Amino acid sequence: MTKAVNSVSAAPAATPGKLPLLPVNFDWLVFAFLAGGFALLYLPAYYELANSVWATDEQGHGPIILVVSFWLLYQQRHALAEAQAAPMAWLGWPMLLGSLLVYTFGRSQDITLLSVASQIGVLMALALIFKGARALRLIWFPLFFMIFMVPLPEALVSAVTGPLKSAVSAVASTLLYQIGYPVGRSGVVMTVGPYQLLVADACAGLNSMFTLEALGMLYMNLMRYTNPTRNVALALLLVPTAFVANIVRVMILVLVTYHFGDEAGQGFVHSFAGMVLFMVALVLMLGLDKALGMFLPAHRGAR
């Protein structure tokens, strides 16, 4: 006599895998149309930047900011696709039209600041038109981060860079003199032994501070800090941090020139000093972050 046995085979537990390259039910036609239009507008602007300001030491961070911004937008693709659509066309379309007018004026008058900055408004408008305010909240940081790739006005850079260079050269020369080096200073020209060094804009200017501020903002975003008080405090402290890092950079260049000659100071070491600037700034930023953590929690509402 045989007994029938009903066996139920358990289904294997689903193992979470990597997120797909594109969200489910992705509308290729709409995306291709929007991406093509965006590229048609802004690739020529990027090309001009690559052959002008992005090729300088002062604005060399621009393409890095652009790539990181698009990477951050890409990271939000699934959240954007899953967000409930609540289009705000009444706000999105006027914003899109205004941004395109700003772009047109900037391109026609060769005002790079306007033509590049307009892309932020275009992306904000598209988010509002297709998804609404929730989508804008999801991508606010990548769009805000794009501000750091917009070339600063020359008038502002000139007005701020002069005093910054004087302050950096004054502090660097004083510190070196105090530890026994034959250093003198006249304005932004430093004399060490038989050599004279001009403190350039890239060594102590507004653009380097702007770049380091962008680095700090990215750090806070990657750390997922939600306490606005701590974020604002760290952002403000990054300004003197950048100043100190610039002083260290200038001191290194002066010491290398004094000990190894002018060729060494203006060669590879000069470029390497730029890396030192960011390494010093990063170490100082991490130290400040740890110090703030002793008084301010990283997340809103935490104790």
Amino acid at 75: Q
CA distances from residue 13 to 10, 16, 117 in whole angstroms, order as listed: 9, 9, 48
Which residues does the annotation mark as catalytic?
203, 249
Position of tokens 């690739």?
43
Q: Residue 185: which of 250, 241, 248, 276 has the closest Cα?
A: 250
Concatenating the DSSP letter of every residue in 175-219 gives HHHHTT--EEEETTEEEETTEEEE--HHHHSHHHHHHHHHHHHHH
For residue 303, what are its two tokens? 């104790």
Phi, psi of 275 (to 5 degrees): -65, -40
Position of tokens 């290729």?
28
